[in-house]
Structure 1
């Protein structure tokens, strides 16, 4: 089979590319996804995240190498393996990052990536629940709205103000700092993934778009220094698909560099031990892995309106399920992480350096460790970690997972930042508006010294699922793509996903990944 464009990965960026490219009926597009169709009800009911997150259901469920900064523990890295990619299994929080994050990209020599440059592309994809404004759009496929908050969500926001933090009604507006409710990619009680927003409405009517699920990309096919197709395993057989114009990698911060390495594009030191012929030496492939280290403060509560496990809670859950089936409203229409904040651990900072995500349930070990009873949690993550990791090969087998080393808490500044953020979170939870929930600290009660808390943080910190940077954009020796996302030294090949971020944005990465695809489309069309 032959197409004009082949897109590898139907995730946050890939579905957007498929939509925009196939809008031209003269262009043929093939979208490859290793996972299945997005038919699982756990995807579409927002509360289904509680079951998807800890399982291998539509989830790659990767593991890291042992992390010295986390006491030698092996970390967990869930990623979407389904149409919609990680937008089909994420927390549905719509955050773009701080405006200065994108100005940083431009300052590094990446023309066209300042905040002023990218804002129109954020607005293009968005239908904002309050309508259009300077910062928001109302004509896009991606619905961005608000859910009906739980009482503890409102109490947390009020407690944040009692603790001295400003209220923020729009984290994607003029200012990011403050405490407030999150905008979410939930519409009428259903997850609004990129597959739902960008792919489903056009898939049946655009005959120039072919979507292949269960298609594991094995390598990019090269003729000299030009990408001419993709070899993929489909229904047990290796098939070569030809691309007349370009191959576009949108397999994410783990999948895209992994495929480049399997194709012989990367550092010789990584390829040679696995018997892979070097087709193009590119030392930055897999380097510059950045992710938000995150710790969860967990609390028990006697309040059974909070999500949890108990006899009374089971009765309430049954009623909530009936309500959701009938009206798509109630607790199961929530992403559970309804509010949070962007705070500065030092007032001298130019922008927030920690993010909080308040959750109306006990979340422990990525929801893999369950507790009897009910409670509340709050994620605390370091927004701009100085610890940098890498991705490499475990094997030349395309079905084998990559070697993932985020190098969490290797830099002492990250340790100090997460420590300060954890203390700030405890202070918020101790304010009077939260007292009605009688919260009982599950892990840090009685721990007050820095040494005690740091030991706890190293035992409990892990990813909050925002890996980026492994196909870095730029012009230095470790850059993988240029500012128009073309792979250095290879024609007809681009990377279009979160892996191209030269630095990690201060916030969730789904919205920026969608923007990256919107931004890239202009250059793809020009070429």
Structure 2
């Protein structure tokens, strides 16, 4: 039997410890309903659904879980599963996920017509799989302006927070930002809080203490698995309409979608009163689906030879994004990696936030991709 030198033994021991620590992270897949590939739809017994939700993102996942308590629900997601993808799951790989340009990347980069670089999620869990993971409750004024029931909204927050939200162990850079904001007069200091409050605060995060990301997809664990079918790689390309007996207006009765192999399928609503197609495909995908289904400005639909189901001049118009001004600060030594934990909220509604340790040069990944893009690409 050969002998192992002390140096080699130490390296092997260190490697095994690293593997053990990695496995010790809270990386187990939650107890979810089955996640099916879209191509499996042709192999199952077709059934009608009380609700068909297009888009399994930040809103679609908790909505599907909630509705499945009482109703038959079909959730259609054009992307794949976030589970098993380390670039999604671990904080230190945040920037790698944003630069993945492969066909099946959870982060689909694009450039707007005026040259602004951005990313769009293509994965179960939506933007919660590729964003910086900061969690905060909505501004009360926003809830009121949206016409929502404030009491019901406040009752809903804990349902999410108990499942996927954590208090951060504040990183050195985030502590420095907190102190700097207070010194600059962004006050008062509101401590650790989920509430939207003017001043400086430390908010919640969907990264746990081990740096593992918990996304909206985790909320599907609260669903009734007997009532929910989740299809991945299901790209919905049309809402199907029909004029029902005794009605002049057309009603949505189902959807048409394409699976991962290019196969085409249709899914239909039940005949129950109140059954609905819910479009939850994001700020870009939702109006796009409405337009190609025949809902939108008459002139725009005619231009593309799309049959008009409903003229609505507002569909596909007036989209805007929050402006972001980034300041990159080089340091002598690389700071510890951190994403947004501390924020300052001014009386004018401006958010001041920071991340650290993801690269500081002009060629850095963090300078050219995602939520902190410092580049505008001018197209000819």
The two structures have a TM-score, normalised by structure 2, of: 0.75
Paired with 2:133 and 2:228, the residues of 1 have a C-alpha distance of 27
Match of 1:411 in 2: none
Work out which of the two has the higher radius of gyration on C-alpha atoms and give 1 or 2.
Answer: 2
Match of 1:16 in 2: 62
TM-fit CA distance, 1:461:
7.5
Q: Is the 8 A contact 2:95 2:365 kept in 1?
A: no
TM-fit CA distance, 1:249:
0.9
Q: Secondary structure at the match of 1:23?
A: coil
Match for 1:33 among 70, 73, 77? 77
Distance 1:65 1:43, change over 3 A: same
Paired with 2:106 and 2:184, the residues of 1 have a C-alpha distance of 40
Paired with 1:340 and 1:186, the residues of 2 have a C-alpha distance of 16
Paired with 1:77 and 1:371, the residues of 2 have a C-alpha distance of 13
Distance 1:368 1:103, change over 3 A: farther
Match for 2:342 among 339, 342, 364? 339
Cα deviation code 1:102-155 (max 9, x no counterpart): 2233xxxx3xx154453222234322xxxxxxxxxxxxx3x3222222222212
Q: Secondary structure at the match of 1:119?
A: helix
Paired with 1:80 and 1:21, the residues of 2 have a C-alpha distance of 23
Distance 1:187 1:32, change over 3 A: same
Match for 1:121 among 148, 152, 156? 156
Structure 1: gaps (5+ residues): 67-73, 128-140, 308-330, 345-351, 381-456, 463-527
Distance 1:171 1:285, change over 3 A: farther
Aligned length: 311
Q: Is the 8 A contact 1:11 1:194 kept in 2?
A: yes
Paired with 1:213 and 1:354, the residues of 2 have a C-alpha distance of 37
Match for 2:107 among 52, 55, 59? 59
The answer to whether the aligner puts 1:231 opposite 2:256 as a matched pair is yes
Distance 1:202 1:340, change over 3 A: closer
Q: CA RMSD in A?
A: 2.7
Match for 1:154 among 175, 179, 182? 175
Paired with 1:266 and 1:170, the residues of 2 have a C-alpha distance of 44
Q: Secondary structure at the match of 2:141?
A: helix
Structure 2: gaps (5+ residues): 1-45, 244-249
Q: Which runs of 4+ in 1 moved over 6 A?
A: none
Q: Please show how residues 331-480 of structure 1 align to structure 2 within 5 Å.
A: 331=337, 334=338, 336-344=339-347, 352-361=348-357, 369-370=363-364
Match for 1:164 among 179, 182, 185? 185
Cα deviation code 1:252-290 (max 9, x no counterpart): 111111100010011112211111111111111122313
Q: Secondary structure at the match of 1:297?
A: coil
